[in-house]
Amino acid sequence: MSKPQKGLLIILSFFAIYVIWGSTYLMNKIVVTEVAPLLLAAIRFLSAGVLIMFISKLLKLSLAITKQQLFNCIIAGFLFLVYGNGVFVWALKYVDSGFAALIAATQPLFVIFLMRLLHGNPIKTKSLVGVVLGLVGMYLLISQDGLHLTPDSIKGIIMLFTCVLSWSYASIFVSKANLPSSFFVSTGYQMLAAGTMLIIGSLAFQEHWVSPLNWSVKAQISMFLLVVFGSVVAFTAFNYLLKEVATEKVSTSAYVNPVIALLLGWYVLDEHISLQSIIAGLILLTGVYFINTKKKMMVFTRFKK
């Protein structure tokens, strides 16, 4: 692949994780009002995994995988999709989608601390400023009087933060792990592994299963979009970027996702956006910017060596 082609693919991949993933908060919120959360995630990822493998076969991509690669796919699938996404969707039953997106925007804070703890990466002055701003933003976000916190919403907020931690660690893990050479095939294995674990989890927690034929049209359309665009397109783009671009750069999706999620939640679901939430979000995203920015930041052309 030539450099211009590679650059274009990276740009399109960033668009996918910025814009498409920003809309998945809304779609998950719509479906989870009718479908049990673990079952929702299981259907989404099993369907996407089967679709990816079918497309891979048509494209004549090798589906060969070693035991180590399979084990790594299972770990990544659990961290990203079973816990990082499945539990996140469960929390959406108690937390607004836009608010949840702002919490997800703390991912770069978690990434920078984990990279410091796991790999000894130094935290630069700009990053320290970003961390402080991020912590202030988080405090303003969860301390506002108009939140109407209940035991369930508090539990949901706590679980959202643990999901962000899981996703952040998985991002670092995948960037270094031995996985199938095709990022598309790797995505398929991760989704099939996660979908299987989620089905087992749904049965273990005795979730109520409802046939997709009995869902509302709105929920059916949202699930279709989650499978095709939120999973096959965006998650494949995400796995590709983790192998081609520095992990910190990939986490910049936190700039855009909350904005799109807030606007869609407000426009489609009439979710309330308080002034304090807007201020908290601006401070938090400014902190994220400080964490990721450099004097010469070329997100789309500076490939990881």
The answer to whether residues 130 and 289 touch, using CB atoms and an 8 Å cutoff, is yes
Global pTM reads: 0.77
The total number of residues shown for the chain amounts to 305
The answer to whether residues 106 and 33 touch, using CB atoms and an 8 Å cutoff, is no
Predicted local distance difference test score (pLDDT) of residue 297: 36
Report the alpha-carbon distance of residue 176 to residue 10 in Å, rounded: 19
End-to-end CA distance of the chain: 16
Taking the domains of the chain in order of start, what are their residue ranges? Answer: 3-292
Please list, residue by residue across 198-228, b when 16 or more beta carbons sit within 10 angstroms of its beta carbon and e when fewer do: bbebbeeeebeeeeeeebeeebeebbebbbe
Cα distances (angstroms) measured from residue 226 to each of 32, 44, 85, 219, 223: 12, 7, 12, 10, 5
Report the alpha-carbon distance of residue 189 to residue 201 in Å, rounded: 18
Q: Which residue has the tokens 């929702």?
A: 40
Predicted local distance difference test score (pLDDT) of residue 93: 87
Report the alpha-carbon distance of residue 68 to residue 151 in Å, rounded: 42
Tokens at 305, concatenated: 């060596």
pLDDT string in tens for the chain (305-residue length): 677 778 888 889 988 988 898 898 899 999 999 999 999 999 999 999 999 999 999 999 999 999 999 999 999 999 999 999 899 989 988 888 877 877 887 777 788 788 888 877 777 777 778 778 877 877 776 666 656 678 888 899 999 999 999 988 998 898 889 999 888 899 899 999 999 999 999 999 999 999 999 999 999 999 999 999 988 888 888 878 877 887 767 766 766 777 788 788 888 888 777 787 788 878 877 876 776 665 433 333 332 33
Predicted local distance difference test score (pLDDT) of residue 75: 96
The answer to whether residues 293 and 124 touch, using CB atoms and an 8 Å cutoff, is no
The answer to whether residues 111 and 252 touch, using CB atoms and an 8 Å cutoff, is no
